[in-house]
């Protein structure tokens, strides 16, 4: 019973982490492309970086707590979610690097 509960909790927070990575990438690129979003983050949280961090942190924990009641049960599913998180984090990092590379070296301003 304890293992089942732990697997559900871990899987819930892994799913939440995957969605948090996607959210922070979307907020980062979206804030650069849509200035009102960046300005709103700065106005609400004193700086747009702080805003992205606070929203992602709060969303991560709220979503993780909600998902713990529907999380997967098996260890194989948890391992698949760990791989998924790794892939999403890598793709997210490459997306941000690629976006800034494009903005600095290719886009004409």
Summarised one tens digit per residue, pLDDT across range 54-79 is 999 999 999 999 998 886 778 888 99
Q: How far apart are CA 31 and CA 42, in angstroms?
A: 10
Which pLDDT score, from 0 to 100, does residue 71 have? 67
Q: How far apart are CA 12 and CA 84, in angstroms?
A: 13
pTM of the model: 0.89
Give the total number of structural domains in the chain.
1
The first and second tokens of residue 91, run together, are 């793709």
Q: How far apart are CA 72 and CA 81, in angstroms?
A: 10
Residue with tokens 């948090």, as numbered in its chain: 20
Range of the domain at 7: 2-106
């Amino acid at each position: 019973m304890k293992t089942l509960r732990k697997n559900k909790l871990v899987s819930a927070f892994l799913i939440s982490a995957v969605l948090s990575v996607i959210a922070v990438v979307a907020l980062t690129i979206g804030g650069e492309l849509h200035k009102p979003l960046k300005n709103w983050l700065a106005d609400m949280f004193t700086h747009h970086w702080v805003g992205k961090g606070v929203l992602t942190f709060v969303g991560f924990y709220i979503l993780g707590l909600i998902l713990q009641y529907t999380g997967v049960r098996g260890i194989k599913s948890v391992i698949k979610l760990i791989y998924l998180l790794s892939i999403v984090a890598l793709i997210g990092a490459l997306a941000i690097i690629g976006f800034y590379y494009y903005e600095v070296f290719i886009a004409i301003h």
